[in-house]
Amino acid sequence: MSGLIGFLRAAAIGLPVLFAASVAQAQSGPPTAEELAAQIGDLKKDYEKRIAALEAQLAGMKARPPAAEQKAAPASRPSMRSGDNSFNPAIGVVLNAMFVDRSDEEVGLPGFQLGHESERPEKGFSLGHSEVTMSGNIDDKFRGALALGLGAHGSETEVELEEAYVQTLAGSGLPDGTRLKAGRALWTFGYLNEQHAHGDDFADRPLPYRAFLDGAYNDDGLELSVVLPGDIYKEIGGGVFRGGDIPFGGSETGREAWSAYARIGGDVGRNSALRLGAYVLDGEAHGRAGGAHAHDEEEDGHGHEEEEHAEGEEEDGHEEGHPHAELFSAGAFTGDTRLFGVDFRYTWAPTGNARDSELILQGEYFHRSETGSYTLQEEHEECEDPSPDPNNPHGHEVCETHVDEMAEDLNGSSSSGWYAQAVYKFLPQWRAGMRYARLSPPSAAELDNDLSTVSAMLDWTNSEFGRVRFQYNRETFGETRDNQFILQYVMSLGAHGAHSF
């Protein structure tokens, strides 16, 4: 093809000269040199035009393969290998570790159950959640994904099935904009819940996520969502779930929770965008307990899963004199729990290029209302000295196991929490951020104070795939203050999914 064009191009230069000469001779009288030059110039232009038109046509021909070939791979990709590997799912690995220094005093989550995922980070070096993800299209109608979280707790490696879901593709036959997702997934609730934690802008989840969702709600169930037609982004959806994950737990029927949400969003001017959402998540909990391992032995008065701490004499330092708070943090909840949430996220890239500089503002507010009861059973042994019976010199200690039970019935007990954060990318590879989070314990817990955390972070992003972050947290509850310093890296290799807004 290029040979042909080259030939034409040569002809375009050569031909006009001959042609012009012969035309010129046929005219009356010998033409002047200027006339000749002008004529040649005109002709040359004319030919170049035609050649360009030919080029365009040739190009067009290339673009239109014969009808029979239309479904085949495009001509420009002749060497596509089609071994078994090309159908492998996209595999990605996220590596994540931190170094932490912090105060000895632990604020914890007074008035709330401390879940497994919401413990404060361990001192010194530790691995966070490493993650392995696999995803791919199943066929023309479905797509599937699997995400495993690998966490190290002491010498044990824990594997958590974070996500394992299938969802419909546009070819599924559902109306445009409609998607059905089933299995286990990070369901739609607020902004952060859908995101994997390694994509967060801070090293830890904010207080309301720790208190109400134990990091994130990833239950088993299914969710339908619909993007409504129109120039403005509007999405509605809802789901039904097993009720096996915090804020629920101990599901009896296997379908005890439901959710609904609505979102709206759009561009604000040329270089910024906004999204707002409102959410509800409602269901039954049966004996929901926090289940976190407390770290500090001397404070571990309520490690109710840890049988070795059966002494039970010690009260948590900061909860002393708040038996109700103890009930709410260490007790088990059975009843109806309903979460409302609203969120916003605003991004602004001054030049339109988020890669150079960008400001992200984000905030969420959660409100929880619970009707049911908290119960706390504490077992402890009381031993009496053997009775001074001279007839029985081999008298054993007499021990009895006492079970103290505390319980409180609630009717619409409410608690709430919110956070707001700003993250600014001031250089292409550097971002700084601030976050304030606040949590109001249930009034029945009779705690006088709210919890609050102020966080500051600075991170360096070498490429899209590697990030190193420094974060400072100051958690406050009454007189208790916990200063935490976190140095973290989050790196991903392999397939790296596109980011949602």
Closest distance of CB 58 from another protein, Å? 9
Q: Concatenated DSSP letters for 163-187? A: EEEEEE-GGGSSPTTEEEEEEE---
**Residue 275 interacts with another protein (CB under 8 A)?**
yes
Closer of 153 and 355 to another protein (Cβ): 355
Show contacts with another protein in window 251-270 (CB under 8 A).
Answer: 263-267, 270
**Residue 497 interacts with another protein (CB under 8 A)?**
yes
Rounded to whole angstroms, the Cα distance separating 266 from 275 reads: 7
**Residue 86 interacts with another protein (CB under 8 A)?**
no
**Residue 435 interacts with another protein (CB under 8 A)?**
no
**Residue 426 interacts with another protein (CB under 8 A)?**
no
**Residue 233 interacts with another protein (CB under 8 A)?**
yes
Binds another protein (CB under 8 A): choice among 104, 231, 308, 400: 231
**Residue 14 interacts with another protein (CB under 8 A)?**
no
| Site residue total, another protein (CB under 8 A) | 63
Show contacts with another protein in window 127-146 (CB under 8 A).
Answer: 143
**Residue 42 interacts with another protein (CB under 8 A)?**
no
**Residue 356 interacts with another protein (CB under 8 A)?**
yes
Closer of 186 and 447 to another protein (Cβ): 186
Rounded to whole angstroms, the Cα distance separating 326 from 405 reads: 12
Binds another protein (CB under 8 A): choice among 6, 171, 254, 478: 171
Tally of CB atoms within 10 A around 426: 13
**Residue 352 interacts with another protein (CB under 8 A)?**
yes
Taking CB under 8 A as the binding criterion, the range among 92-100, 202-210, 227-235, 375-383 that sits at the site for another protein is: 227-235
Distances (CA, A) of 350 to 89, 353, 430: 37, 7, 16
How many CA atoms within 13 Å lie on the side-chain side of 462?
Answer: 8
Rounded to whole angstroms, the Cα distance separating 466 from 478 reads: 38
Segments of 301-429 assigned E as strands? 332-348, 358-384, 398-427
Buried b (16+ CB within 10 A) or exposed e, 429-463: eebebebbbbbbbbebbebeebbbbebebebebee
**Residue 462 interacts with another protein (CB under 8 A)?**
yes
Q: How do strand 257-268 and strand 272-288 relate by DSSP bridges?
A: antiparallel
Closer of 159 and 427 to another protein (Cβ): 427
Closer of 354 and 434 to another protein (Cβ): 354
Closest distance of CB 499 from another protein, Å? 7
Nearest CA to 168 out of 136, 142, 138 is that of 142
Closest distance of CB 276 from another protein, Å? 9
**Residue 123 interacts with another protein (CB under 8 A)?**
no
Taking CB under 8 A as the binding criterion, the range among 124-132, 372-380, 391-399, 459-467 that sits at the site for another protein is: 459-467
Closer of 271 and 480 to another protein (Cβ): 271
Closest distance of CB 6 from another protein, Å? 13
Closest distance of CB 184 from another protein, Å? 18
Q: What are phi and psi of 58, to 5 degrees?
A: -60, -45
Reduced to 3 states (helix: H, G, I; strand: E, B; else coil), residue 11 is: helix
**Residue 359 interacts with another protein (CB under 8 A)?**
no
Rounded to whole angstroms, the Cα distance separating 238 from 400 reads: 51
User: Is residue 181 a contact partner of residue 143, using CB atoms and an 8 Å limit?
Assistant: no
Taking CB under 8 A as the binding criterion, the range among 148-156, 166-174, 237-245, 391-399 that sits at the site for another protein is: 166-174
Reduced to 3 states (helix: H, G, I; strand: E, B; else coil), residue 58 is: helix
Q: State the amino acid at position 333 in one-letter form.
A: F
User: Is residue 341 a contact partner of residue 263, using CB atoms and an 8 Å limit?
Assistant: no
**Residue 235 interacts with another protein (CB under 8 A)?**
yes
User: Is residue 130 a contact partner of residue 114, using CB atoms and an 8 Å limit?
Assistant: no
User: Is residue 417 a contact partner of residue 437, using CB atoms and an 8 Å limit?
Assistant: yes
Show contacts with another protein in window 179-208 (CB under 8 A).
Answer: 179
Binds another protein (CB under 8 A): choice among 287, 386, 428, 478: 428
Binds another protein (CB under 8 A): choice among 99, 340, 344, 465: 465
Show contacts with another protein in window 45-84 (CB under 8 A).
Answer: 45, 48-49, 51-53, 55-57, 59-60, 62-64, 71, 74, 76-77
Closest distance of CB 500 from another protein, Å? 5
Binds another protein (CB under 8 A): choice among 36, 354, 361, 468: 354
Q: Concatenated DSSP letters for 198-264? A: GGSSSSS--HHHHHHHTT----EEEEEEEEESSSSEEEEEEEEE---STTSBS-SSS--EEEEEEEE
Nearest CA to 413 out of 452, 363, 447 is that of 447
Largest Cα span, the chain:
155
Closer of 46 and 379 to another protein (Cβ): 46
Binds another protein (CB under 8 A): choice among 27, 88, 157, 351: 351
Contact positions vs another protein (CB under 8 A): 45, 48-49, 51-53, 55-57, 59-60, 62-64, 71, 74, 76-77, 143, 167, 169-171, 176-177, 179, 227-235, 263-267, 270, 273-275, 347, 351-356, 428-429, 462-465, 493, 497-501
